Chain A
C-alpha cells in the first residue's frame, strides 16, 4: 500500500494544483475573443475528458496484469480507476453540454467525439454494473478484466466508425468551436489544469484503494469472527 505521507503529500499537491488552476483559468487567462467567459469551461472540460481516457487506460493495463498475475491489488486498481473514469466522463459530458448550449445552440449534437464519449460512458457503466451483479468476487474480477480489455480495444473501432458515420456522406456541419491555434496564455491555463486533474485522479485512486483495502480487511475480520 501507499504510505500515509505520500498520500498526504499527494492530497496537498492536488489542492495547490487545483487552486492555481482556478486562479489561472479565471484571472490569468484572457477571456476568449469570440465566446467570452464561457470559453473558460474549456479548462474544466478538456482535463476531465483527458483524465478519463487515462483512467480507462489504467483499467486496461490493470486488467491485463490481473489476468496474468492474479493479484487482488490489480483488480482493485482496475475497479477504482473505472469508477473514477465513469465519474470524469459523465462530468466532462455534462460540462461540455453546458458549454455547448450557448456556443452551439444545442445541449447535444451527434458529433463523432461526443458520440464516442457517450458510448465509452455506457460501456464502463455496464462494466460497473456487471461487477455489482456477479456474486463471487473472484469471478466478477475475471469477467470485468475481460470486459475491460475488450472494451478498450473496441474504442478505436468505435471512434473510427462514428467519424466515418458523420463524414462519409455529408460534410461535418458543426465543427468544434474555439480558435485552432490556442493562445499561449490559454495553453498555460490548460496544461496547469490538466496537471492538477491528473493529481486529483491520483489522489482519488489512492483514496479509493484504501477504502477497498479496508473493505477487504473488514470482510476478513468478519470471516474470522464467524469462524
Chain B
C-alpha cells in the first residue's frame, strides 16, 4: 500500500512539473504533427499509398516523440542535482523507477491521444468508432516503450552523446513492440476481425512483462553510487 503511494507520489511530482511548464508535451505534440505532416511529402501525396502505410507512419511518429519525452524525463532530474534528492527519497529504488515510468507513460499516452485526431484529419481516416480498439493496442505498446525507455534513459543520461545514444539503444530493443503496434493498428484501421490482432497483443504482453520485471530487478544497479 505504502509502496503504491510512493510510486504515485513520484509520478505526481513529474506530472505537476510537466504541467507547470508544459515544455515536453508541447514539444512532443509539435514534433508528432511535424512527422505526420512530412511523411505526406515523403510519400509524394499518393493517397492510396499513404493509407496503406498509415499505421507504420503513426507509430514511427510515436516512437520519435516518445524518445523525446523519455530523454527529458530523466534529464530534467540532473538540473540542481535533483537526481541526488530523488535518490534520498525514503522509498525503494523500485518505487522510484515505477514512479518515473508512470510519469513518462502518462505523458506519452497523452501526446498519442492528442495525435489521433490530428492523424485522422491529416490522413483522412475515420478512426472514431475504432478508438476503444485502438487504445487496446496503444496502451500496452506505450507501457513497454516507456518501461524500456526509462531504463535506457537512466543509462544514457550522464553521457556526452546522450541524444544519439538513447535512440541507438532503445530502438533495436523495442522493435518487437513497434512491429506489434504497427500490425495491431493495421488490423484495427482496416476493420479486420480483432482476433487477428491477438498474437500481436500477446507479443506486446510478453515484452511488457520482460521489461518490467527486468527493469525493476536491475534499476537499482544503474543508480547506485
Task: Say yes or no for B207: interface residue by CB 8 A criterion.
Answer: yes
Distance A133 CA – B155 CA, assembled complex (angstroms):
11
Query: CB within 8 Å of A: which of B176-225?
Result: 176, 179-180, 183, 199-200, 203, 206-207, 210-211, 214-215, 218, 221-222, 224
Distance A129 CA – B207 CA, assembled complex (angstroms):
24
Closest partner residue, chain A, to B159 (CB atom): A133
Main secondary structure of the interface of B (DSSP, over half): helix
Distance A130 CA – B155 CA, assembled complex (angstroms):
9
Query: CB within 8 Å of A: which of B126-161?
Result: 151, 155-156, 158-161
Q: Give, as a whole number of angstroms, the nearest-CB distance from B199 to chain A.
A: 6
Chain A CB within 10 Å — which of B173, B199, B215 has the most? B173
Q: Are A146 and B222 in contact (CB under 8 A)?
A: yes
Residues on B with beta carbons closer than 8 Å to the beta carbon of A161: 175-176, 179-180, 203
Q: Are B218 and A157 in contact (CB under 8 A)?
A: no
Q: Are B168 and A129 in contact (CB under 8 A)?
A: yes
Distance A143 CA – B160 CA, assembled complex (angstroms):
15
Q: Give, as a whole number of angstroms, the nearest-CB distance from A154 to chain B.
A: 5
Q: Are A123 and B179 in contact (CB under 8 A)?
A: no
Task: Say yes or no for B172: interface residue by CB 8 A criterion.
Answer: yes
Task: Say yes or no for B118: interface residue by CB 8 A criterion.
Answer: no
Q: Are A157 and B179 in contact (CB under 8 A)?
A: no
Tally of contacts, chain A with chain B, CB under 8 A: 79
Q: Are B221 and A119 in contact (CB under 8 A)?
A: no
Residues on B with beta carbons closer than 8 Å to the beta carbon of A158: 175-176
Q: Are A151 and B173 in contact (CB under 8 A)?
A: yes
Distance A126 CA – B206 CA, assembled complex (angstroms):
23
Closest partner residue, chain A, to B219 (CB atom): A146
Which of B159, B199, B207, B221 contacts A67, CB < 8 Å?
B221
Q: Give, as a whole number of angstroms, the nearest-CB distance from B223 to chain A.
A: 10
Q: Using known A-B contacts A147-B155, A150-B214, determine if residue A160 contacts B165 with beta carbons closer than 8 Å.
A: no
Q: Are B221 and A133 in contact (CB under 8 A)?
A: no
Task: Say yes or no for B83: interface residue by CB 8 A criterion.
Answer: no
Interface size class of chain B, counting residues whose CB lies under 8 Å from the partner chain: 20 to 34
Q: Are A150 and B151 in contact (CB under 8 A)?
A: yes
Q: Using known A-B contacts A149-B214, A150-B173, A162-B179, determine if residue A157 contacts B165 with beta carbons closer than 8 Å.
A: no
Task: Say yes or no for A168: interface residue by CB 8 A criterion.
Answer: yes
Which of B155, B172, B183, B207 contacts A143, CB < 8 Å?
B155
Q: Are A160 and B222 in contact (CB under 8 A)?
A: no
Q: Give, as a whole number of angstroms, the nearest-CB distance from A126 to chain B.
A: 5
Distance A7 CA – B215 CA, assembled complex (angstroms):
39
Which of B158, B199, B218 contacts A164, CB < 8 Å?
B199
Task: Say yes or no for B169: interface residue by CB 8 A criterion.
Answer: yes
Distance A147 CA – B211 CA, assembled complex (angstroms):
11
Distance A119 CA – B207 CA, assembled complex (angstroms):
16
A residues in contact (CB < 8 Å) with B: 67, 119, 122-123, 126, 129-130, 133-134, 142-143, 145-147, 149-151, 153-154, 157-158, 160-162, 164-165, 168
Instruction: Please give me the 7 A-B residue pairs with the lowest Cβ-Cβ distance, nearest first.
Output: A161-B176, A122-B172, A146-B218, A126-B169, A123-B172, A133-B159, A157-B176
**Can you sample 16 A-B contacts with CB below 8 Å?**
A122-B168, A126-B172, A129-B165, A130-B155, A130-B156, A130-B165, A146-B155, A146-B222, A150-B211, A151-B173, A153-B210, A153-B214, A158-B175, A160-B203, A165-B179, A168-B199
B residues in contact (CB < 8 Å) with A: 151, 155-156, 158-161, 165, 168-169, 172-173, 175-176, 179-180, 183, 199-200, 203, 206-207, 210-211, 214-215, 218, 221-222, 224
